[in-house]
Structure formats: structure tokens, C-alpha cells
């Protein structure tokens, strides 16, 4: 149900992930959701929502307007949240009513938790994270700022993930492991040992992958 106490929510990014975020926000009670996008014409519509301007529009957000950053690039998403926060602009966490989030878990500003996700007791999710469809983050996990936990990924209890990392679709991480900053866990991988900062690991009992210079560290979302 829309919550009349909530003002306008600007969603930065009108791609596929942006549409998921906009719909999640509506389900969470936001009644006035609008897009900002540098590549979609202002005044047009994407799905059910109008495009009000480009990304810099967010920096002049009026009082009572909130902003969420819906881009897949982890570093860019976190950078925008930092810039907006320095200006005192509200960047709320957006949590789907169809997610299961413990009342004893914490969710950082600008993080989006979408339908079907599970966040267990004493888990701590940082700022500007994506907790994507039907993923599971078990008790006492710590997820660093700007990290993306992809659809269907499973993290056992006590896993620590550094900032700006990417846990691929359907990946499984054994309990009590540390995943470093800027790390990539390939889709469907099973991780049974710690992962160093900046590493990419793939496969069952996932092994480091030598990254080709042309590869992106963080596959796009939307």
C-alpha cells in the first residue's frame, strides 16, 4: 500500500535493475517513483514510471525527495551514494515486503533488498549494496559497502565480504569464510576457502581465474 507520508523517490538508472528497484519501492510503500537516466530522454516513460532528468538532477533533489542508485557498477553506485550523502540527501534502504529480513539484522543506506531475499539474524549489510532476488545471507554475515549478492546466491553463517565485491548468480559460499574487497565469485561457483582482495574465482571448490585485460571486474546489471 502506498504510504502518503513518503515523498518522491528518484531512482537513478532506468535499465532492467532500475525497473526492479522502482517496483520494489512501490511495493514498499512509495507512491511517487520517478527515474533519472543519462541515456533515456527526459519526459519519456520506462514501464510505469516517468523519466524526470539525468543523473546530475539528483544533486539538486528538493527537500522531502529521496534518491536510490540503481546501477550495476559497484564502485559507481557507492560513489554516487557517497556524493549524495555528503549533500545531506536522503538515500534510504529499499526493502521489499516480499523479502525475509530479520529485525535483528542491519541494512545500510542506499541498499536494495528485493523479493525473495533472506537476511538472517545479526547479519550486517553495508551501504549501496544489492541483495538480489532469492539470495540468502545467513546469520552473522558482514557484507561490505557496494557489494552485489546476485540472484540465488547462498552465503553460510559468518561470511565476511569486502567492499565492492560481486557474488555471482547461484554461487554458494561456505560458512565463516572471508571474501576480499573487489572480488568476483563466478556464477554457480562453490567457495570453500578464503578469497583474496581483487580475485576472481570460478567453479566448484572455486579456483582463481586469470582475468583477461578486456574483462570487466563487475558484470553489468540492467
Q: Which sequence positions are flagged as catalytic?
A: 139
What does the alpha-carbon distance between residue 221 and residue 218 come to, in Å, rounded to a whole number?
9
26 neighbors 33 (Cβ within 8 angstroms): yes
What does the alpha-carbon distance between residue 195 and residue 216 come to, in Å, rounded to a whole number?
18
Handedness of CA 27, 116, 35, 50 (dihedral sign): negative
What does the alpha-carbon distance between residue 149 and residue 193 come to, in Å, rounded to a whole number?
18
185 neighbors 201 (Cβ within 8 angstroms): yes
φ, ψ for residue 107 (rounded to 5)? -125, 125
What does the alpha-carbon distance between residue 132 and residue 46 come to, in Å, rounded to a whole number?
21
What does the alpha-carbon distance between residue 40 and residue 49 come to, in Å, rounded to a whole number?
12
Amino acid at each position: 500500500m502506498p504510504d502518503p507520508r513518503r515523498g518522491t523517490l528518484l531512482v537513478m538508472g532506468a535499465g532492467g535493475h532500475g525497473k526492479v528497484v522502482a517496483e520494489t519501492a512501490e511495493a514498499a510503500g512509495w507512491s511517487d517513483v520517478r527515474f533519472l537516466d543519462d541515456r533515456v530522454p527526459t519526459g519519456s516513460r520506462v514501464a510505469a514510471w516517468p523519466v524526470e532528468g539525468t543523473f546530475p538532477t539528483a544533486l539538486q533533489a528538493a527537500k522531502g525527495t529521496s534518491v536510490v542508485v540503481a546501477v550495476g557498477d559497484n564502485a559507481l553506485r557507492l560513489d554516487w551514494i557517497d556524493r549524495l550523502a555528503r549533500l545531506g540527501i536522503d538515500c534510504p534502504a529499499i526493502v521489499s515486503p516480499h523479502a525475509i529480513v530479520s529485525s535483528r539484522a542491519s541494512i545500510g543506506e542506499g541498499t536494495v533488498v528485493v523479493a525473495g531475499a533472506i537476511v538472517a539474524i545479526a547479519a550486517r549489510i553495508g551501504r549501496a549494496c544489492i541483495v538480489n532476488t532469492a539470495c540468502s545471507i545467513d546469520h552473522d554475515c558482514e557484507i561490505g559497502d557496494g557489494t552485489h549478492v546476485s540472484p540465488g546466491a547462498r552465503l553460510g553463517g559468518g561470511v565476511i565480504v569486502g567492499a565492492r565485491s560481486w557474488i555471482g548468480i547461484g554461487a554458494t559460499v561456505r560458512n565463516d569464510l572471508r571474501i576480499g574487497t573487489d572480488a568476483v565469485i563466478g556464477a554457480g561457483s562453490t567457495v570453500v576457502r578464503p578469497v583474496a582482495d581483487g580475485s576472481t574465482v570460478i567453479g566448484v571448490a572455486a579456483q582463481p581465474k586469470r582475468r583477461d585485460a578486456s574483462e570487466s571486474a563487475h558484470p553489468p546489471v540492467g
